[in-house]
Amino acid sequence: MKLLGQEDKETLATALDHSGQRPTPQRETVFGVLLDQRDHPTADEVYARTKSRMPSISMATVYNCLETLVSSGLVKQVNIEREPTRYCPNLAPHAHFHCRDTGRVYDVPVPVGTMEKLTDVLPGKYQADSVELVFRGHLSKGTSS
Amino acid sequence: MKLLGQEDKETLATALDHSGQRPTPQRETVFGVLLDQRDHPTADEVYARTKSRMPSISMATVYNCLETLVSSGLVKQVNIEREPTRYCPNLAPHAHFHCRDTGRVYDVPVPVGTMEKLTDVLPGKYQADSVELVFRGHLSKGTSS
DNA sequence: AATTTGACTTAGAACTATTCTAATTCATCT
DNA sequence: AGATGAATTAGAATAGTTCTAAGTCAAATT
């Protein structure tokens, strides 16, 4: 899939507008890249994929667009160890699994309320507004992708 | 406290020996720095603190020592967002709280079994050998340090 | 006790992901 | 059409960390 659907386009426009920013072809294309292949690409990977759809785009713009998308709340950054930042358009609360063999990062859905429940371990003085849960390990063999 | 106690020295020697490495004055001093002030210092901070006890030490050696301690299992790295890596000699399973105001990182003790239990959300093909739980937010006012 | 060996330390260069800068382009508003 | 300001761009700069190559040191061997 090459272009952003009408629905996604409106999601983007609304979210950007809400944070006082404008939809642009570059932002739409980058957003489309993230929606099309949800494998937590790095900025480099987003750049490569975006360039194949819009050859004139620059790395700086990719970083700018990603930052814009993050600030508008449409995309989340995923940082694991000291590896390059990855980008994730999955807005539902979820955990991540980081495969030591391939370096790949997988979304792990969690039952509703699970992430919020975790804050129960926090002593009262800590007011958490975000919870991050990352597993690291291996995929059992016989699994693909 | 300036020097490593006999007990800690033996812990260090044993752990290093176990991974085929040697205890050295630099490694002992860096380890002592981490044990003395458990505030998740960055390499820069460890360097500054170590230098005040052993002025001739170099940044490269601090990185080397930290890496040695990590590889021997005595110290854990704590990575939050893209901030500099922090170092933590707390080996018990625990979570972290990252204060958005100060950037400080706090250990959050969790009930025995809690971290392990989290792996229940993982589909079978994911074999986790480590679980990382990080909260981000603010400290309610009226609390110190 | 001198020599060898190999691990450890060190200074500085190199690397990499990301951010910054300053110039240009572009769309919108008068 | 001209002005305004946001967005894009190339390349320079930055920062944390790792690498390199030379020097040091302690233990093992002669």
Q: What CA–CA distance (Å, rounded) separates A108 from A106?
A: 6
Element of type H or E holding A12: helix A6-18
pLDDT for position A110: 97
Please name the residue that has the structure tokens 């016989």: A142
Please give the protein residue whose CA is closest to the C1' of the nucleotide C12.
Answer: B60
Closest C1' nucleotide to B50's CA: C9
Element of type H or E holding A131: strand A126-139
Q: What is the mean pLDDT of chain A?
A: 95
Question: Is B3 or A31 the better-scoring residue by pLDDT?
Answer: A31
Closest residue in B to A110 (Cα) is B121
When CB atoms are compared, the residue of B97, B127, B131 closest to A126 is B97
Condensed to tens digits (0 to 9), the pLDDT of residues B22-81 reads 999 999 999 999 999 999 999 999 999 999 999 999 999 999 999 999 999 999 999 999
Geometric angle at alpha carbon B88, from B82 and B93, rounded to 5°:
100
Nucleotides of C under 7 A from a protein CB: 7-12, 16-21
List, as one string, the DSSP characters of chain B.
--S--HHHHHHHHHHHHHTT----HHHHHHHHHHHH--S--BHHHHHHHHHHHSTT--HHHHHHHHHHHHHTTS-EEE--TTSPPEEE---S-EEEEEETTT--EEEEE--TTHHHHHGGGS-TTEEEEEEEEEEEEEEPTT---
pLDDT for position A6: 83
> How many Cα atoms sit within 13 Å of A11 on the Cβ side?
15
What SS3 class is residue A56?
coil
Q: Which residues of B touch A135 (CB under 8 A)?
A: 118-119, 122, 126, 128, 130-132
Phi, psi of A52, rounded to the nearest 5 degrees? -70, -20
What SS3 class is residue A101?
coil
**Measured from the CB, is A19 under 7 Å from any atom of strand D?**
no
B46, burial (CB in 10 Å: exposed 0-12, middle 13-18, buried 19+): buried
To the nearest whole Å, the CA of B71 is away from the closest chain A CA by 15
- H, E, C per residue of A16-55: HHHCCCCCCHHHHHHHHHHHHCCCCCEHHHHHHHHHHHCC
B140, two tokens: 């309610």
Q: Which residues of B touch A85 (CB under 8 A)?
A: 82
pLDDT for position A86: 98
Q: How confident is the model at residue A141 (pLDDT cuts 50, 70, 90)?
A: confident
Query: pTM value?
Result: 0.93
pLDDT for position B141: 80
Condensed to tens digits (0 to 9), the pLDDT of residues B89-115 reads 999 999 999 999 999 999 999 999 999
> Residues B9-21: what's their mean pLDDT?
94
Q: Which residues of A touch B129 (CB under 8 A)?
A: 100, 136-138
Q: Do A84 and A44 form a contact (C-beta atoms < 8 A)?
A: yes
Q: Which of A97, A110, A144 would you mutate first to test chain B, the one with the most B CBs within 10 A?
A: A97
